[in-house]
Amino acid sequence: MARALKTQMAQATKKPIKLTVDNKQATTPDGATIPNACKAAGAYVPTLCYLKDINEIGTCHICLVEMEGYNQLVAACDNITLRGMAVHTNTVVVQVAPAVHTA
Ligand code: FES
């Protein structure tokens, strides 16, 4: 697991937080990974290299999502949810990114 993600998860309170996934309000435990939060909100984020507690290094970038306020795509499996964050899983940029990344 990446050190930054470990630090973020250690600081998480596990209390429910609200965020937006694909323009829909969602509630997830503080510290949930973005793919888990998206799944709870009914959005699918594919993962390939991520295996919970086994391989959490975030290298394949198949799970890229857009986060409002960030100027680049982020690996969802390598980041946790934050209160009020807005995630987009189904934009054109997100759909094309894995193909561009592996080309
Ligand atoms: S699943 Fe591989 S980087 Fe996220």
Residue type, 68: E
DSSP 5-53: HHHHHHH---SEEEEEETTEEEEEETT-BHHHHHHHTT-----SS-BTT
- CATH code where residue 35 lies: 3.10.20.740
| Domain region containing 15 | 3-102
Instruction: Report CA(76)–ligand 1 centroid distance (Å).
Output: 7
Instruction: Tell me if 35 CB under 6 Å of ligand 1.
Output: no
Q: Closest ligand 1 atom, CA of 49?
A: 2
pLDDT in tens, 25-45: 999 998 899 999 999 899 999
Q: How many domains does the chain fold into?
A: 1
Instruction: Indicate the pTM of the whole model.
Output: 0.81
Which residues of the chain are under the pLDDT cut of 70? 1-12, 99-103
Instruction: Tell me if 27 CB under 6 Å of ligand 1.
Output: no
